[in-house]
């Protein structure tokens, strides 16, 4: 598997990362080296092997249906670049 | 593979310029799980609240925060699955659905993709003209809701409130088994009723607890499935009907002009009643799902399923069948009564030990009619089941006439009190004493000698006499007795 520059541009766009055109060739190269390296995993035969989800046998912890958190709008807003009356304020996004 | 489960029904075809068309509809309903806390955090899931007050650091996606699943939300999903007679998957997986939007602070929604918690099931809808229709359920999965953006607070900025962010949603996906807007509306409304019976979603559409994405396509009757458009986020059953009708017409127009329908996402505009393309989102439709490494697979054991099964209430279909069998109700009356659990319970209290049809008649026509008129629900009915039952008894015993009963109902509605005592105190008892009725009749015949002659030739005029007697007795005379005595006295067969 490998990527071309169009794919690199698309990945950057999906990740909302601004990439200059002149940086595309270098990124293409870097990503393909990483992909090649990961390709090595394909050499392992995993026929009939269940995907491993944890290193020790364990099941998902569940919480009770109780209100135990929240009610701290000041903390939630503390790092917001812009806010108004405990709302996050962002550049207008509308359909 | 999509299987067509329906036989084309000409009654539902849409007439176009070139011939008949058939609509094919599938739905994705988003139902907010009834729970105190959110799906992966301990913040309140209650509707509303001060901005960003029902928000934990998990919901705001602060770095390092980890989701911990709310076990009750899982139970609610399983309960809903059992209510839809669906397969419960003992092993399911949470995935990340990646996209950027300001009201999605994580940059991904935790959802379930290839392995949902609930698999295939069915919902049965009763259509007035075609009978029972089975709509297949494809799957039900758990996922997080997003926050809310407001665009009308500022000319160039949007305001974001994350109170809803992270609340548990069930996405319930149907198979493309519906063939008309009416079927689609019946499907959502039945789904809402089932979830309200189960207590898994309050179905409050104004608050957005239930909203649907509707997939609509058209085809020549019985032909290949056409290209579908998805109408996003419709939050009223009436709008769903309008959106489907409009969208089907639009697609038929395109096809009849020799065009092709583009597969796209559309928005329904309630003001114009039209759907319009939201093309800008199309490009971004690359969600790059992958299993969420923060969450282990969801495993459900038999004990949990058995416990939930044992606690399931009587569901609408079963209740309907039982009401029809035990109280000889019509299909129509039974449908109205099972719409809300509280309505059916109220009816059963009234009907207990009484004539089921009479009870249904009073509950549906008088009580529900009056409640609807005043925009009240059954839970704040001023007339209790005992009071209504007493009214039905009084009619049944012949103590009051049907007409007086309506007056009595009005008094109980306005003032409350024991219907039996009211009838006593206010002299509302039906007069069955033939002596008193005879006296009243004699008086009327004497005063209307001419009419009394005419009635021998025109027997229909007897109605006028009955009216006069009822009037003079204040409506309290027993109508059958009046009729009989009048016929005897006037010599009408």
- Label each residue of B262-312 as H, E or C: CCCEEEEECCCCEEEECHHHHHHCCCCCEECCCCCCEECCHHHHHHHHHCC
pLDDT (0 to 100) of residue B387: 95
Q: What is the pLDDT of residue B2?
A: 79
Residues of A in contact with B112 (CB under 8 A): none
Per the CB < 8 A criterion, the answer to whether B459 and B493 are in contact is: yes
Q: Chain A residues with CB inside 8 Å of B44's CB?
A: 67, 70-71
Q: Are residues B282 and B322 located together in one domain of the fold? A: no
- Shared domain for B384 and B455, answered yes or no, is no
The answer to whether position B4 is within a domain reads no
Whether residues A94 and B151 touch (CB distance < 8 A) is answered with yes
pLDDT given at position B63: 94
Greater model confidence, B98 or A53: B98
Q: Which residues of A touch B279 (CB under 8 A)?
A: none
Residues of chain B with confidence (pLDDT) below 50:
none
pLDDT (tens digit per residue) in B420-470: 999 988 888 877 777 888 888 888 888 888 888 888 888 888 888 888 888
Contact A89 B161 (CB under 8 A): no
The reply to whether B402 and B456 lie within a common domain is no
Structure ipTM: 0.92
Residue B48 lies in a domain: yes
The predicted pLDDT at position A95 comes to 56
* Chain B residue whose CA is closest to A68: B42
The answer on B168 and B113 residing in a single domain is yes
Alpha-carbon distances, residue B164 vs A7, A28, A85, B2, B439 (angstroms): 35, 40, 17, 34, 74
Q: Is residue A92 part of a domain?
A: no
Q: Are residues B70 and B211 in the same domain?
A: yes
In this complex, do A67 and B44 lie within 8 Å of one another by their Cβ atoms? yes
Number of structural domains (chain B) is 3
The residue range of the domain holding A27 is: 5-42
Closest-approach residue (CA) in chain A for B283: A14
Examine residue A49 and state whether it is found in any structural domain, yes or no: no
**Distance from C-alpha of B80 to C-alpha of B89, rounded to nearest angstrom:** 13
Range 247-306 of B in CB contact (< 8 A) with A: 267, 278, 280-281, 284, 286, 288, 291, 295-299
Q: Are B80 and B118 in contact (CB under 8 A)?
A: yes
CATH (domain of B446): 1.10.10.410
Q: Tell me: do B246 and B132 sit in the same domain.
A: yes
Top residue of A6, A51, A59, A70 to mutate, by most chain B CBs within 10 Å, is: A70
Give the domain range for residue B365. Answer: 313-425
């Amino acid at each position: 598997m490998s990527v071309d520059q169009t794919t690199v541009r698309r990945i950057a766009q999906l990740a909302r990362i601004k990439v200059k055109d002149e940086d595309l060739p270098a990124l293409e190269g870097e990503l393909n080296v990483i992909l090649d390296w990961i390709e090595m995993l394909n050499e392992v035969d995993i026929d009939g092997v269940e995907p491993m989800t944890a290193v020790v046998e364990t099941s998902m912890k569940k919480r009770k249906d109780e209100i135990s958190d929240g009610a701290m709008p000041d903390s939630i807003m503390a790092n917001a670049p812009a806010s108004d009356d405990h709302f996050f304020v962002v550049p207008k996004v509308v359909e | 593979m999509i299987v067509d489960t329906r036989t084309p029904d000409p009654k539902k075809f849409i007439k176009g310029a070139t011939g008949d068309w058939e609509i094919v509809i599938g739905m994705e309903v988003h139902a907010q799980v009834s729970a105190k806390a959110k799906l992966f955090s301990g913040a309140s899931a209650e509707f509303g609240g001060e901005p960003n007050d029902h928000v934990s650091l998990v919901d705001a996606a602060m770095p390092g925060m980890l989701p911990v699943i709310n076990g009750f939300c899982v139970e609610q999903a399983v309960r809903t699955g059992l209510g839809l007679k669906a397969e419960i998957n003992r092993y399911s997986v949470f995935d990340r659905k990646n996209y950027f939007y300001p009201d999605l602070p994580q940059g991904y929604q935790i959802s379930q993709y290839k392995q949902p918690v609930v698999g295939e099931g069915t919902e049965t809808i009763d259509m007035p003209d075609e009978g029972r229709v089975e709509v297949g359920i494809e799957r039900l999965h758990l996922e997080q809701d997003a926050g809310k953006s407001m665009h009308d607070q500022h000319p160039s900025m949007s305001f974001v409130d994350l109170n809803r962010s992270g609340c548990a949603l069930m996405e319930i996906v149907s198979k493309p088994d519906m063939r008309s807007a009416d079927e689609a509306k019946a499907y959502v409304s039945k789904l809402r009723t089932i979830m309200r019976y189960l207590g898994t979603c309050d179905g409050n559409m104004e608050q957005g607890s239930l909203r649907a994405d509707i997939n609509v396509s058209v085809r020549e009757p019985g032909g290949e499935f056409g290209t579908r458009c998805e109408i996003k986020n419709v939050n009223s059953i009436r709008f769903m009907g309008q959106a489907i009708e409009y969208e089907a017409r639009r697609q038929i127009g395109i096809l009849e002009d020799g065009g092709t329908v583009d597969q796209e996402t559309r928005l329904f505009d309630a003001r114009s009643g039209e759907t319009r393309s939201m093309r800008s989102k199309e490009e971004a439709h690359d969600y790059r799902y992958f299993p969420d490494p923060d969450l282990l697979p969801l495993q459900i054991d038999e004990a949990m399923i058995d416990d939930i099964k044992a606690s399931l209430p009587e569901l609408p279909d079963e209740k309907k069948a039982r009401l029809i069998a035990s109280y000889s109700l019509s299909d129509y009356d039974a449908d109205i009564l099972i719409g809300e659990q509280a309505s059916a319970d109220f009816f059963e209290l009234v009907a207990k030990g009484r004539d089921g049809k009479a009870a249904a008649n009073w509950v549906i026509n008088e009580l529900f009619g009056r409640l609807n008129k005043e925009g009240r629900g059954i839970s704040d009915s001023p007339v209790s089941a005992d009071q209504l039952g007493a009214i039905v008894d009084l009619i049944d015993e012949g103590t009051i006439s049907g007409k007086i009963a309506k007056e009595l109902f009005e008094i109980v509605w306005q003032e409350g009190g024991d219907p039996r005592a009211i009838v006593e105190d206010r002299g509302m008892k039906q007069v069955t004493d033939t002596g008193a009725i005879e006296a009243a009749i004699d008086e009327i015949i004497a005063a209307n000698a001419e009419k009394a002659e005419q009635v021998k030739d025109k027997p229909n005029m007897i109605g006028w006499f009955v009216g006069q007697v009822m009037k003079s007795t204040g409506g309290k005379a027993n109508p059958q007795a009046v009729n009989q005595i009048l016929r005897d006295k006037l010599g009408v067969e």
